Amino acid sequence: MKLYGYWRSSAAYRVRIALNLKQLSFENLPVHLIKNGGEQHSISYKALNPAELVPTFTDGDISLNQSLAIIEYLEEMYPEPALLPQDPAAKAKVRALALDIACDIHPLNNLRVLQYLSGTLALTDEAKTAWIQHWLHTGFNALEQRLRRSAGQYCFADTLTLADICLVPQVYNAQRFALDMTAYPIISAIHHHCQQLAAFALAAPEQQPDAQ
């Protein structure tokens, strides 16, 4: 197994957590999103992933992009420990929480969006930070309300799931952009609990070989 990623990529971070939780060995292959104009734009990487995004995951002849698709592949191939409940309704609720983060919150503070704000639109650093914090607050406000109904130690009761794998990297982003987390005690408590687990600690951006 090979994982092409970037140390600070939230999506790659999710996959690292899942691989660690399932205790799977993999080769971590850095794709630096800043150096040399962005290594994701290289001819060799574009051949692997035409979207020029990370992560890309390969397992023999299989090549996958999209972090949640990669994690669900791992879930099917290596079902223990389970990252999704067996009950269809519970499984759908966990997927919905994960998608709230991965599809609604994360894309608005992704690198290529921020580069467009700074570059093409010529926003100041202050304006860019305001943009990021606005959309983080919008997403976290809704997520915190949902978690009031579903959370225990983790996003879904006391069982670690795909939702937690998505939540931790998103909180890392929020902390990076100095978001005030006071209004989100449930999100903060789940994040703190997950951070005590080795699978999450080893997947942390600062622990990666390409960390800058």
- Region 86-115 average pLDDT: 96
pLDDT at 185: 98
Of the chain, the percentage scoring pLDDT greater than 70 comes to 100
Q: Strand 2-5 relative to strand 56-59: parallel, antiparallel, unpaired?
A: antiparallel
pLDDT at 204: 98
Mean pLDDT (the chain) is 96
pLDDT at 119: 93
Confidence of residue 165 (pLDDT cuts 50, 70, 90): very high
- Region 43-56 average pLDDT: 96
Confidence of residue 212 (pLDDT cuts 50, 70, 90): confident
Comparing 2-81 with 88-199, is the CATH topology the same? Answer: no
Tens digits of residue pLDDT in 22-36: 999 999 999 999 998
Per-domain residue ranges of the chain: 2-81, 88-199
- Region 77-84 average pLDDT: 98
Q: Does domain 88-199 have CATH number 1.20.1050.10?
A: yes
Q: What is the CATH number of domain 2-81?
A: 3.40.30.10
Distance CA 66, CA 78 (A): 18
pLDDT at 203: 98
Q: What's this model's pTM, rounded to 2 decimal places? A: 0.96
Q: Give the closest residue to 161 by CA, choosing from 82, 92, 75, 101.
A: 82
Q: Give the closest residue to 170 by CA, choosing from 84, 99, 81, 93.
A: 99
In the predicted model, is pLDDT for residue 132 greater than 90? Answer: yes
Backbone conformation region of residue 57, classed left if phi is above 0, alpha if psi is from -120 to 50, else beta: beta
- Region 36-47 average pLDDT: 94
- Region 64-74 average pLDDT: 98
In the predicted model, is pLDDT for residue 171 greater than 90? Answer: yes
In the predicted model, is pLDDT for residue 19 greater than 80? Answer: yes
Scan for tokens 């902390």, then name that residue.
175
